[in-house]
Every structure is written in C-alpha cells, then in structure tokens.
Amino acid sequence: MNRDRRRWLAGGAAALALGGVTLGPPVGAWTGEPFPSRPVTMWVPWAAGGATDLSLRLLAELAAPALGQPVIVANRPGAGGTLAMPVLTQAEPNGYTIAQMPQPVFRAPFVTKVLWDPVRDVTPIIQVSGVTFGVLVRAASPLRAMDQLFAFARSRPGELTIATNGIGTTPHLVLETLFTERGLRYIHVPYKGTSELTLAVESGQVMVGVNSTGFGPEVDAGRLRLLATLGQERSRRWSQVPTLRELGYGIVAMSPYGLSGPRGLPDEVVKVLHDAFRQAMFDPRFIEDLARYDQEVTYLGPHDYARACREEYERERAAAERMKNTRSTGS
C-alpha cells in the first residue's frame, strides 16, 4: 500500500469515526493514481478541417506517446471560438478534459453575458503559438488595396460583404473599428471556421474575408490575394504585403493561444500535460506544420502563460472601457 493511499484511508477513517461522510475521496478530486490512465480529450472551439484544428490534431498525435494515452480531439465551433469554456467549467479537474484557449475568450465577458470567467475558471497549462490575420479577396477580385474597399463601401452603401470567423472575434472587432471610424457600412458574414470562410471568399459567396493565416496555402496557390496583414511587422512569408499599421490605420491584431484545463487542476497533472505537449510542440513535424500557416512556436510554461492570460484579460477590459466611453461621449 503506497503512502498516498495510507494517508487517504486514515483521513477517511477519522471522518467516519466522527460521524462524518461516507469513506471516499471528494468528487472530481485527483486521488494520486497514475495519470493518465485513459484517453485525454482536447476540445477545439473551431470547425474541423481549419488550420488551427489541423495543427492541434497533429499536436495531440505527437503528445500521445509521452502521455502513454491517446489525445482525442473534439470540436465545438460557434460563438466566436468560446464554446469550449462551458465544457471546462463543467469538467472534473482531473486532467482528462483540456481545451484550446483562443483570444476571444478573454474578450467575451466584456461584450456579452457569459457564465464563466477565462481567468478564474481555468488552469493554464501551456502557450502553444499565435496567429496573425490578413484581409483577403479572391484572385480575380478588382479590389486590390484597402482604400479601394472603403471607396466601394462609400459609393455603394450596404453592398460590401465581409466574412470573419465569428461575431466578437478579433477580425470582427478590427472591421468594426475601421468602418465605424469612417462612417461606413458593410455586411458582416460570420463563419464557424477557416475552411468554410476561405471557400466562401474563393467561390465569390462573399467579397472579402478577414481571418487567421490558415488561408496560407490558398494564397500561395494563387487562388486568394492578400491586401494587408494585421501583425506588428510584415510577414516573412508574404513580405510584399503591407500591414494595417504601416498603411496608417494604427491597428495591430494578433491572437496567441494555448491549452488549459478546468479550475483546480493539480500541479502534478499540469506538469504531466505540460511536459508532453512541450515535447510535441518542438517536434520538427509540428514546427513545419505551423510554418504552412505563417506561424511559429511561442512557448510559455504554466506560470508565465497564466500571467499572460491575466494580462490579456485586463487589456480586453481596458479596450471595452475605452469603447464604452467613446460611445457615451459620441466621439
């Protein structure tokens, strides 16, 4: 009998002697048994087949040998990438349920009513990477620059259709800023995932798309054309494409992401998950896969990632306050 089990039995016997509860560990608690002893489920809040989904499926595959168990990827698209949060809040903190934490989860509490908190209700495990975004049109589109988009919207109000990966996502908020500042209107068309959005732009169902760099293969193949990217600097992959910042629009938008578990995940379990996924992240296959979408590994461990999540949450709070003040003053 190991030491942990002796401690647990002694504590339970003491409670029973005092007329306490039924002998047994608390519901959802980690009992010290080897972890993992069954498959781990990783929830991805985007549609299957998109760039992030495909990258995380590869990451899951690469982490499985170190864990000694399969990592099953489950999709829950919709609501701008926030639908994995309710799963985490309802899951037991035992390490068998984890999820991707995309940027919109830090914004959602300030723009809509949610029953969860992206800082309080999760245990950060590891930061994986980050995406930048781009404004794209089909290759045959007559729109070849950002000022042409605004000119079209000005001359033909309400006809410009622009797709993003959901209401409240980073691309959507960027569009709202750009068009509201100029007193212009567009038709917003939200999609659940990158693959659907890319196909819609390529087929002409919508005129413009703003999305993460999962569109990379389509741009490289000449089926889509980039008008601008939203990062701090020009993309090394598409160095001829300007950023919104250098075009004078004053906007930089990036979206780091990582993996988290439910609140209260024990340190021992966090370490096992972190070590397996860190090893997988630096596998050449994963690095090569990220490069297909103009991404790279941006590793942070549990403590640093937790700090980054808190900082991101506060940035979104401040941004929401600024927007509220701007609306109230009418400026």
Q: For the residues of 245-277, what is the DSSP string, one character each?
A: TTTT-----EEEEEEEEETT--HHHHHHHHHHH
Question: Is a pLDDT exceeding 90 seen at residue 117?
Answer: yes
Instruction: Map tokens 């590994």 to a residue.
Output: 297
Last residue of a domain, which of 213, 229, 245?
Answer: 229
The CATH number covering residue 177 comes to: 3.40.190.10
**Is 224 within the bounds of a domain?**
yes
Predicted local distance difference test score (pLDDT) of residue 14: 34
Report the mean per-residue pLDDT for the chain: 87
Predicted local distance difference test score (pLDDT) of residue 303: 98
Q: Are residues 151 and 110 in the same domain?
A: no
Q: Are residues 180 and 268 in the same domain?
A: no
- The per-residue pLDDT for range 81-98, each reduced to its tens digit, is 999 999 999 999 999 999
Q: Are residues 53 and 119 in the same domain?
A: yes
**Is 177 within the bounds of a domain?**
yes
Beta strands in 121-207 (DSSP E): 122-138, 161-164, 187-190
Q: How far is CA 33 from CA 6, 30, 110, 219, 265, in A?
A: 13, 7, 40, 49, 14
**Domain span holding position 78:** 36-130+256-323
- The per-residue pLDDT for range 157-205, each reduced to its tens digit, is 989 999 998 887 889 889 988 998 899 999 999 998 788 999 999 999 9
The CATH number covering residue 64 comes to: 3.40.190.150
Question: Is a pLDDT exceeding 50 seen at residue 298?
Answer: yes
Predicted local distance difference test score (pLDDT) of residue 31: 56
**Is 181 within the bounds of a domain?**
yes
Q: Are residues 119 and 158 in the same domain?
A: no
Instruction: Work out the average pLDDT over 103-124.
Output: 94
Number of domains in the chain: 2
CA dist 208 and 189 (Å) reads: 10
Predicted local distance difference test score (pLDDT) of residue 323: 62
Instruction: Work out the average pLDDT over 249-268.
Output: 93
pLDDT band for position 119 (cuts 50, 70, 90): very high
Q: Are residues 178 and 225 in the same domain?
A: yes
**Is 124 within the bounds of a domain?**
yes
Question: Is a pLDDT exceeding 70 seen at residue 22?
Answer: no
pLDDT band for position 120 (cuts 50, 70, 90): very high
Instruction: Work out the average pLDDT over 211-225.
Output: 90
Beta strands in 165-245 (DSSP E): 187-190, 208-212, 224-229
Q: Are residues 68 and 207 in the same domain?
A: no
Question: Is a pLDDT exceeding 80 seen at residue 4?
Answer: no
pLDDT band for position 325 (cuts 50, 70, 90): low
Last residue of a domain, which of 229, 244, 271?
Answer: 229
**Is 291 within the bounds of a domain?**
yes
Q: Are residues 224 and 84 in the same domain?
A: no
pLDDT band for position 28 (cuts 50, 70, 90): very low
Predicted local distance difference test score (pLDDT) of residue 15: 35
Q: Are residues 136 and 210 in the same domain?
A: yes
pTM for this model (two decimals) = 0.75
Q: Which residues pair with 228 in a beta bridge?
A: 135
Instruction: Work out the average pLDDT over 65-70.
Output: 98
Helices 284-292 and 51-67, interaxial angle, to 10°? 170
